[in-house]
Structure 1
Amino acid sequence: MSSGPRLGNNPGANNTSLVAGGVIGDGRYRLLAQSGVDDRGAAHLWRARDGQLNRDVALTILTGDLGDLQAAGRARRTTERAMHASSFTHPGVSRVIDVLTPGSGLRMDEGVLGVVVAEWTQGTDLMDLITEGPLPAGAATRLLEPLGAAIEGAHHAGLVLGADHPQRIRVTPDGRLRLAFPGARPEAIARDDVKGLGAILYLLLTGRWALPGGPAGVPVAPTGPDGAVVAPRALQPYVPHELSSVAVRSLEDTSVGGIRTSAAILQVLDQIAEEEAQTALIEPISDDEDDGDRAVWTTQKPLGGRSHKRKLLIAVAVLAVATLAVIAWLGVQIVSFFSDEDTGKGGPTVVIGQSASPGQSATPTAPVPAGPIQPGSVGVYDVTNNPDNANRANRAVDNNVDTAWNTDNYFQPFPTLKPGIGLMASFAEPVKLASVTVTSKSAGTLVEIRIAASEDAPLEETKVIATATLSAGQTQIQLNEYEPGAHVLLWITKLAGSGKDNQTEIGELVYTRAQ
């Protein structure tokens, strides 16, 4: 995007050489087109022509007043870091080929405090890529992986790239994101690269920028009441949960569950890419196939021949086996229903709550049940601000076991992407419960029953009063003695399933009041 120069209010920015056609660096570099401005470091990003070597280069021009000691010091630190990074080579980063400072390639009166010269990246600007709208998740993943790998490699080498501004990034002709304008700010740390990676992912998925100091004209990412960035999935429902979650968590403070390293982001990107590749292996139906073989519904006369008869016999055989299986299952259900014998499957599994409090008696006294009580509301409780199916939470308390709330399907078990997730039930007044009965098909799910002071209380301020492993069907969790509370959290610490399929479904929650 070849816009005119945006020099802001920086001292020295009125230099007439910083226009298309102007020259810099003792006349060696002729400016061709401006790619953007990173106002946080008074860095102007230009495509230029190296007159000595007759090639295009990328210039990160640091502007300011040479008399401003603070600005001069910042520019000097940026050029020093760029010089150190010149030894790092990776396809996801443009190689630094020269560094200019006042007195060594720059005239003292140019109003330029430093220049980082890097090889030019052919392709297009990142901002041009999203002019038509957000990208599909698969495309965003494939674009971002090389840049993520470059950041990971640089961090292992003890370097910070400064990949936290979208106008520093370009898209190569073969579809890779590349840091085209190196030159990390003096205060930038490795965590800023991780945030930048998450912000770029957020930009690709939503068309919005989620960090301060973004380009003018680019929509800012919306935030929730707590100030946290709204998850991409809330804006674009097609975004996979893992991708949405990793984008948000990479932007969060690590003290509240934020992602610390680019390796964690790369792991999710690799998984999404693998899923995309497996989907691509499914062969589409060819237009030149026999219509009789692929028609779901047709009014044509049935085709004859041995092939058709063989397919018909196979279909009839499969239907017969399925019918017999259904009849057998119905018979078993009827016998089980009228049987007086205890099969171990007729009633709910009863679990005595195990308190997390130290020094508790081995046989705690459980409250005596008085009857069920309906909560006033129930909502999804998620410490990452990326709740699963929040609009379906009420299905868990609608007195209908045929409806259910379920978590998203996670490629990795907790706590890889989040420490857990839960359902917070709020009552009109503090209550004391004797038990919580969970109806679920997701056997093996580990849950905790917690008491909270409010529906949005931090997890560390909630108190565990029981733990249980859910069985398929009903699991009655008997609670230990505790002080009454108005907010009760069912906190899931382990989902059902394994491998890349980790998901839990909650069909119904019944809260029984104690006498």
Structure 2
Amino acid sequence: MPSSAGPSIDTITEGGRVTQVGEGQQAEESAPPIMTFGAPTTGEILAERYELVEHINNDSAGRLVWRGVDVVLRRPVAVVLRYPGGDSATEMLQAAVAASRVIHPNLVGVYDAIDEAERAYVVREWVDGRSLREMVADGPLDPGRTTAIGNAVASALAAVHATGMVHGNVHPGTVMISDEGRVVLADARTDGADSQENDVRAIGGILYFALTGHWPHAEAPLHGATAGHGRAAIPDAVRDASGAIAAPRQVRAGVPAYLDDLTMDLLDAGIAPPPSDVLSAELARLDIPVEDDGYLEPAGPLRFAADNGEEPSPLASVAGRKVAVGIAGLLAVALVGLLIGISILGNDDETPQTEPVARPSSSAPAAEATPAAAVRKLSVTEVRIVDPDSKLRDELGGAEKVIDGDADKGWDTDTYTRSNFGNTKSGMGVWIDLGEERTVKSVQVSLSATGASAQLFAGTTDPPPTSSGDKELFASYKKNPIGQPFEQHDGTTMTFNGFDADAKYRYLLFWITELPPNDRGYQVGVQEITVQGS
């Protein structure tokens, strides 16, 4: 039932879910009741036009979100009220006025902003649907859906940034997906605390959250996006001992390399993000229908690759550090029509005569650069099993199956009585020869079971495939680890990204240190190893 007047107002939902845009993070369960005087009531008409129908929820700032009806135009609206009005509501009203000047299909429409001193309210478009935060509560999204949402958010931000303004409040609670699949961004801020660069970086957080269900900004959260508190809690990203977040491909299987790389690049403070219009154009290119498989492998998880044996064009890859800046020049033609449909409107008679807070972009123009080399699957000329501690050396057959493109066939270890190879050896692994020195971006290893521990090494020598040669090889390679080791990994896919972009690699060693259990003991199969690079 809708709330009546009183000292506090409870959250009302339909079917257990909030059905309104821009609610941000819900107030924490420990937050005190919201005390108001003259609180709104069902059926009340504001400004002789907006009838309040149902209280939906309170956002993290204590504002009241109501479903209403514009009795003049007979359309549903959302009404966001703040107590009191006056000076304390300036930021909310300025943000509403600024947002009303940008018309874009991926931005929630703002219709009115009114200050009545004792309260202020903003009237905006009503969208039936769920926030991204609520949607991902049912489970992480697939890569295609994630790319489409990221594309919509980037497009909305490009429209905002084209006016010189900043959104400043991009997080899973302000990204809304309607029941018809439309993605809209709501609840902009104009408090001067953010920049266009931070807006763009926030898209990395949106992609990471959609793919993993975890929020990567717990230590420095975006507005209203604090993790770990009450109803509003969003699980923090998986982190290593140093606090660095795990890449999406390390959290769950099936995340394509191009999306993993783009997400981590946007989250990397050491890499300048591209302007929002460049990012929007690139995500739009990647956001292709599933049936359009020109760059999709015919089987397995969604991945962009060149299957025809030819070098893909520079635009066919988003992977690689700084790639967004590198492709900026190539995207110029695509960007010509990006802002078509964006209308910058003058002040409406029904909005307060408050000018929006406009700030120049903090994102530097993309530097002229040579397009980054296309990242693709590299060919492997030779593989073999390395087993330095074995006397029988009876587990060496079948190594070629890990590069045959068939994930249903692979190389298996023997079954051991303990996870540490029965305490008979320090480990064993798969040695890879790329045939020549190459730039390597990542190595993905698909395993037959969860719970294995492994790491990746690089080397420069090719000793003979004998027991003594394997000992020599491992002693040399273990001095050069790539990325972080996986410990009892809860997935079946391990992705190693810690390659030096300025270095060349020919020989790699995937090294298994701990086996997962099965119904007979401890064993694992290496189903497929894929090396990405140029």
With normalisation by structure 1, the TM-score equals: 0.49
User: When the two structures are superposed, what TM-score results if normalisation uses the length of structure 2?
Assistant: 0.48
Of structures 1 and 2, the larger Rg is shown by: 1
Larger helix percent = 1
**Higher RCO, Cα 8 Å, sep 6+:** 2
